[in-house]
Amino acid sequence: MSGGMGAASMISRIQAIIFDFDGLILDTETPDYRSWQAAYAEFGLELPLTVWQANIGSVDLFDPYLYLEEQLGRSLDRTAVHARRRILDDELIAAQTVLPGVADYLDEAGRLGLGTAVASSSRHSWVDPHLQRLGLSNRFDRVFCRDDAGDVSKPHPAVYRAALTGLGLLPEQAIALEDSLNGVYAAKAAGLACVAVPNEMTRHLDFAEADWRLESLATMPLAELLLRIG
């Protein structure tokens, strides 16, 4: 992790901050895991976090239905499991608010003249209503989801490439903020500098691939971060 370029010089090079959504703006990941834990518990089983973590930041690297069936040794009514789990998941997510520091980073980006965007492995049908609920729909210049990138999710860099194309920027002109390893891999594969901001689900993972790590966006102002990763 490097430093040394002045903040003014760094800001003149960087033109946009690109935010992941799930786990970075809104903690949907902890509720998702908790609701799956409850689903497994109905069958007297556990879902280890180490197993679940492989899919955080992506959508198709782990199939919780298949894993549950493998542990049970039989097939199950996936529709019924989904319905029960979805009720709990929605309740837990509805109680979540914008994660610390996100609003401050958006405010500071505006003061610094930087663009802002979302790049998510989720679809617009998931991201857009949550941004509206959180009062953030008008805070981002653009929102890019996997349905803008051939329905390909992270760690593939497609959604970041779509974001860069949509923003009209080169990779070196933007910084990604990510909470997951899959997100970091996607951003780096697209050529962006990436700051890891782990949450409850990911804070014990090794983010060596990231250019910088923050425990929360609230722990460091954006201008200082630009200075440190310059």
User: Torsion angle, CA of 27/108/181/211, rounded to 10 degrees?
Assistant: -160
Nearest to 157 by CA among 183, 181, 193: 183
CB 118 within 8 A of CB 126: no
| Closest among 192, 208, 230, 169 to 19, alpha carbons compared | 192
Active-site choice (22, 27, 32, 211):
22
Cβ partners under 8 Å of residue 85, min gap 6: 35, 36, 38, 39
148 carries an active-site annotation? no
Alpha-carbon dihedral sign for residues 91, 28, 14, 163: negative
The 3-state DSSP class for residue 143 equals: strand
Place of tokens 């989720």: 122
211 catalytically annotated: no
Residue type, 217: L
Collapsed DSSP state (helix, strand, coil) of residue 153: coil
User: Left (φ > 0), alpha (ψ -120 to 50) or beta: where does 67 sit?
Assistant: alpha
What residues act catalytically?
Answer: 20, 22
